Structure 1
Amino acid sequence: MIGLDYSADQLRRARTRTDGPLMRGDATALPFPDASFDTAVTMWISTDVEDFGGVVREAARVLRPGGVLVVYGVHPCFNGPHMFFNEDGSRLVHPTYRQRGWHDESPFWGEDGIRRRVGMHHVPLADFLNAFLIPSLSIERFEEPDGPEVPHALAVRARRTS
């Protein structure tokens, strides 16, 4: 297992939790040869990268034929700069949902929190799903993991076909 992150700060934190190898790198240009791994996992990154499709393509590239890609992260429909979280657990979707790309701020983000400090990249659901429609991948499953009434996360399992 090899951990990779673009953020040196995140890698410093990870080093306090694992003895495994960690590398600084760009998920859209992985520093590994083709067909290097049986499994690739991305977690919670779709809102932090400019090219989510590029991340999926690179992950597929480094998988061996038959290898599995698991993507787990923010549900594009129910999180983002377009969402208002009501006290009763419901959510209100603002018409800015279709505004893909980087958002430095949102009227719905509180005064504190990570998104207020660093912003986020919004990937609408169609763009998120279309990222997996590449010739070398076969989608096996989508999952909205248990949790709040309105899903917070979305998981995808795909397999490298060639």
Structure 2
Amino acid sequence: MRHARARLPVARADATALPLATGSMPAAACVLAHTDMPDYPAAIAEAARVLAPGGRLVHVGVHPCFVGAFADRTEPERIVIDGGYAEWELTTRSWNAAGVRARVGAWHLSLADLLTAAGLRLNRVVESGSGRVPDVLAFEATRPR
């Protein structure tokens, strides 16, 4: 925070209760953090609240369909998804026992939960990654005018 404070206004706050006026921000972003929040939809709703009409939200994160405790990625060409995809809970299950998620856990949201963005208009969705199956999902949404 000390580096950012010299360049722009900075606030430390709960992502579901931002100390900002309704409709006061031109943009908001979340990069690789949604799996670290117990209620990302509430954080998106709060971002939508503080966005000005026409304001943009950008999300970049792990792909909710193909990355998580429910996805066995030991064979890069063949991702195996189990029934855990529908679970919305903190889990330390991981296909990689030495990975950070096995140690600290992660929250999972389904694709539908992630893209239902608090009344925002979805403008663009991009799937990408390092292999044939995407491991990154990004979207850009706008608060209606």
User: TM-score scaled by structure 1?
Assistant: 0.78
- Alignment counterpart, residue 96 of structure 2, candidates 81, 87, 109: 109
CA distance in 2, matches of 1:60, 1:94: 33
Q: Which residue of 2 aligns with 1:98?
A: 86
Identity of aligned residues (%): 36
Is 1:70 the counterpart of 2:53? The answer is no
Aligned partners of 2:94 and 2:101 also within 8 Å: no
Report which stretch shifted further, 23-32 or 61-70.
Answer: 23-32
CA distance in 1: counterparts of 2:121 and 2:32, whole angstroms: 21
* Number of residue pairs aligned between Structure 1 and Structure 2: 144
Q: CA deviation at 1:91?
A: 1.3
CA offset digits 1:71-103 (Å, max 9, x no partner)? 111110011110111244431111221112211
Mean CA deviation greater in 29-38 or 70-79: 29-38
Q: Please list every run of 5 or more consecutive structure 1 residues that lacks an aligned counterpart in the other structure.
A: 1-10
Partner SS for 1:54: helix
Cα deviations across residues 28-47 of structure 1 (Å, max 9, x unaligned)? 11121112211111111221
Letter in 1 for 2:24: S
| Cα contact 2:45–2:118 (8 A) shared by 1 | no
Which gives a bigger RCO, structure 1 or 2 (Cα 8 Å, sep 6+)? 2
Give 1:1-162 correspondences, 5 Å limit.
15=3, 20-21=7-8, 22-103=10-91, 105-106=92-93, 108-110=95-97, 112-130=98-116, 132-134=117-119, 137-162=120-145
Between the aligned partners of 1:116 and 1:107, the Cα distance in structure 2 is 5
Mapped to 1, the partners of 2:32 and 2:41 lie a distance apart of: 14
CA RMSD across the alignment: 2.2
Tell me the SS of whatever aligns to 1:60: helix
Q: After the TM superposition, which parts of structure 1 deviate over 4 Å for at least 4 consecutive aligned residues?
A: none
